[in-house]
Amino acid sequence: MTQNSDTYDEMIRADASIRDPYAPYSAWFKEQDAARLARKSAEAEAFFRRTGITFNVYGQTDAQERLIPFDLVPRVLSNREWTRLSKGIEQRVRAINAFLWDIYNRQEILKAGRVPQALIANNEAFLPQMMGMTPPGSVYTHIVGTDIVRTGEDDFFVLEDNARTPSGVSYMLENRETMLQMFPELFSQIKVQPVSDYPKNLRRSLAACAPPTCDGKPTVAVLTPGIYNSAYFEHSFLADQMGAELVEGHDLRVVDGRIAMRTTRGYKVIDVLYRRVDDDYLDPMTFNPDSMLGVPGIMDIYRAGGITIANAPGSGIADDKAIYSYMPDIIEFYTGEKAILKNVETHRCAEPDALQYVLDHLSELVVKEVHGSGGYGMLVGPAASRDELEAFRAKLIARPANYIAQPTLSLSTVPIFVDEGLAPRHVDLRPFALVSPQGVNITPGGLTRVALTEGSLVVNSSQGGGTKDTWVLED
């Protein structure tokens, strides 16, 4: 296994020695038969296909369900590394919730000039309908996925915050289950912190945010757009794992000032709705009148305190990529502390000087849509052709406020299993945080996404990336 000397490899040092967190796994791997590992890799693919762990890729002619490639070599983090990461994530999540309450109530951060007012007022993710509204327990982002990249031993950067409807946790859980089934001996030799209690913690966290009108044990349901949604597997998986009902908009209606779901015994009141439907489609009486996915009148019930919606409508303003560039200021404003986890340097193309810099250095930068996700609508300058650069240049000039730009980081690499043995590939990490009035619970590990193509920096599954199990070692 070889690596670029400019890239931090999480398993192998520059002198070819094995880093401490990977030492036990490396010793185990060296004793394995390559043919056996190849069979196990094929077994994992068959398991994922049999279980239905697929996703849809939109906007492509062959947009049928696809299998997300799974790599059987785990990514390993020490307890020390994880402790620092989790502290930084908790700090960030608490600041995001404080920011959302402030934006929809007093707007002190705008009055202080720490965030430009226009960035909120002109932002499509900002919902005026949420002004003056405090969700039950003062929690806006019940589930947060924080995308983190690494460039050195102690150099972790937050790439983006996912505060709307973060996805991927089902793959984190299934990756671990697959590894436990394939290599049980590994987990008896190496003490890895478990992730299997996530569904139980999710249910408990959501229930703790039940509205004042809840009488007795809270009823939790998961709202899905339906079977054709790219993340439908995850919606059904989490509902099943939590022991919650999986519902679609047409299953719900307003009954006596509450939201109720249709059952074989009539309509049953829901206290907490974990929605996987975007804001615009949540309530056709408040937002998009053509929506067939939401529940007419749910926003009136929500504002009256009759239901908890997780994540809260309007939370998307906190993961807007233009707002992201202000996160160090946001963290300091609400916590009085410097950010533990760094931001990536970000050029806001809405600002004339920044736009000119981006246009002058387009071939060196990564340019992203402010509201984009999943790797769509972005330009990776160093990998783009001349025609692609010129086409994107025209987009930037036409709608500069729609884009931000960042330098291309030398993302860390971890090993994947290939025919020749192990080969380094670039990765990111999406840990998942649960927020309730009782505190912040962060599952040890998260979803590691890996660029399976040599040299590629794009890890999104929609762009050909894969996933792997993430191990956080016990002390």
User: Angle 147-151-156 (CA atoms, 0-180°, nearest 5)?
Assistant: 45
325 contacts 404 by C-beta, under 8 angstroms = yes
Rg of the Cα trace of the chain?
Answer: 22
373 contacts 321 by C-beta, under 8 angstroms = no
* Average pLDDT of the residues of the chain: 92
Q: Give pLDDT tens digits for 270-288.
A: 999 999 999 999 999 999 9
Q: Is the pLDDT of residue 320 over 90?
A: no
Q: pTM of the entire structure? A: 0.93
Give the residue with greater pLDDT, 472 vs 68: 472
Q: Is the pLDDT of residue 186 over 50?
A: yes
Backbone angles phi, psi at 299, to 5 degrees: -70, -35
CB burial string 265-304: b at 16+ within 10 A, e below: eebebbbbbbbbbbbbbbbbebbeeebebbbbbbbebbee
The 3-state secondary structure of 281-333 reads: HCCCCCCCCCCCCCCCCHHHHHHCCCCEEECCCCHHHHCCHHHHCCHHHHHHH
Which H or E run contains 29? helix 23-30
Using pLDDT thresholds of 50, 70 and 90, give the confidence band for residue 383.
confident
Domain limits of the chain?
23-341+409-472, 346-407
Using pLDDT thresholds of 50, 70 and 90, give the confidence band for residue 1.
very low
The pLDDT, as a whole number, for residue 95 is 98
* Overall average pLDDT of the 389-405 stretch: 94
The pLDDT, as a whole number, for residue 63 is 46
The pLDDT, as a whole number, for residue 418 is 92
From 3.30.2030.30, 3.30.1490.270, 3.20.19.10, 1.10.10.10, which CATH number describes the 346-407 domain? 3.30.1490.270
Six token digits for residue 118: 């226009």
Write the CA distances from 404 to 121, 315, 460, 472, integer angstroms: 18, 20, 19, 33
Return the number of other C-beta atoms located less than 10 Å from residue 237's C-beta. 22
Using pLDDT thresholds of 50, 70 and 90, give the confidence band for residue 65.
low
369 contacts 403 by C-beta, under 8 angstroms = yes
* Overall average pLDDT of the 379-390 stretch: 92
The pLDDT, as a whole number, for residue 3 is 47
Residue type, 200: K
* Overall average pLDDT of the 41-46 stretch: 88
The pLDDT, as a whole number, for residue 455 is 84
Q: Is the pLDDT of residue 2 over 90?
A: no
DSSP 378: -
The pLDDT, as a whole number, for residue 55 is 55
**% of the chain exceeding 90 in pLDDT:** 81
* Overall average pLDDT of the 36-60 stretch: 75
The pLDDT, as a whole number, for residue 459 is 82
Strands 220-223 and 272-275: parallel
The pLDDT, as a whole number, for residue 5 is 58
Using pLDDT thresholds of 50, 70 and 90, give the confidence band for residue 297.
very high
Six token digits for residue 381: 């300058």
Backbone angles phi, psi at 243, to 5 degrees: 75, 30
What is the C-alpha to C-alpha distance for residues 192 and 22, in angstroms, rounded to an integer? 12
* Overall average pLDDT of the 348-375 stretch: 88
**% of the chain exceeding 70 in pLDDT:** 94
The pLDDT, as a whole number, for residue 453 is 87
Question: Lowest-confidence range among 299-303, 317-321, 336-340, 376-380?
Answer: 376-380
* Overall average pLDDT of the 12-17 stretch: 94
The pLDDT, as a whole number, for residue 463 is 66
